[in-house]
Structure 1
Amino acid sequence: MTNEYLAFAPISTDADIPVLDPAAALLDEMMARVGVDGLAAAFADPGLLALVDQHAAAVRDALVDADRDADAAGLAAYATSIVAAARRGGRTLPAVGEAPTRPADWMATDWHLLRLLGVCMLAEVLDVLP
């Protein structure tokens, strides 16, 4: 069985190689798929930044409502649920390097990508990325 959307970094048994927390690894991949390009576009466009900030606030509120912490585990669980819902709706995630780069493209993109971009923004703000 393969995971088409989110992969985890392999866990090393070598004492010299740090073990990457699975939640942090998932967030790192999410950042590579949507966060890097999306946040760069958002910081270049105040309207998009406001939209992403609203999505980040909704993520934060959802975690509070679910009695989850706004940490790597909580954000990763939320992101996983968004990816699963998107998959059920026939939507996919962009591969690394294939996310939109222009603010106008992000403003017109699917809701699930904007919500995942909100997750990435929170992960960056909360400093939970590896």
Structure 2
Amino acid sequence: MTNFAFAASVAAVRPAGAYLDEMMARVGVDGLTAAFAEPGLLALIDQHAAAVREALRTAGRRPDAAGLAAYARSLAAAAVRSGRPLPEPGAAPASVAGWASAGFPLLRVVAVCLIAVSSNELN
């Protein structure tokens, strides 16, 4: 399944918590593992998380499962439109160096995962 088809099918069918679980499986686990191993990367992810919280607040959304999933869906769609879709399952960077050079959408989705984990919004 292509990333675009994946994003469209998930947005249409899956509830927010399930979508966040999928993002966690696709990029969150690997990204957070790398971030917890490298303080500089964790600081970068924290900055992205602060920006996510601010964007949700500005939009009148809460950083709950629904708000986080909506934000992550928009990131996934934008990544597809820009020609740099999120990695397929099992294809996320495997090293700290790979994550340090990851693009904006990928790091921002990891930040969404960090917020979801820290606020217990995963299924």
Q: TM-score, normalised by structure 1?
A: 0.85
Give the count of matched residue pairs. Answer: 118
- SS of match in other structure, 1:4: helix
2:95 matched residue in structure 1: 102
The structure 1 segments of at least 4 consecutive aligned residues displaced by more than 3 Å after TM superposition are: 5-8
Instruction: Report sequence identity in percent.
Output: 58
| AA partner of residue 30 (structure 1) | M
- For the residues of structure 2 that align with 1:83 and 1:67, how far apart are their CA atoms? 21
Give the root-mean-square deviation of aligned CA atoms.
1.6
Asked if the contact 2:46–2:111 (Cα under 8 Å) also holds between the matched residues in 1, the reply is yes
1:68 matched residue in structure 2: 61
- For the residues of structure 2 that align with 1:24 and 1:55, how far apart are their CA atoms? 20
Asked if the contact 1:55–1:114 (Cα under 8 Å) also holds between the matched residues in 2, the reply is yes
- Higher relative helix content: 2
Give the gaps of 5 or more residues in structure 2: none
Deviation at 1:7, TM superposition (A): 5.3
Asked if the contact 1:71–1:128 (Cα under 8 Å) also holds between the matched residues in 2, the reply is yes
Deviation at 1:28, TM superposition (A): 0.3
Task: Specify the structure having the higher radius of gyration (Cα).
Answer: 1
Q: 2:25 aligns with which of 14, 29, 32?
A: 32
Give the gaps of 5 or more residues in structure 1: 12-20
Structure 1 pair 24–50 and aligned structure 2 pair: CA distance change class (3 A): same
- For the residues of structure 1 that align with 2:105 and 2:62, how far apart are their CA atoms? 21
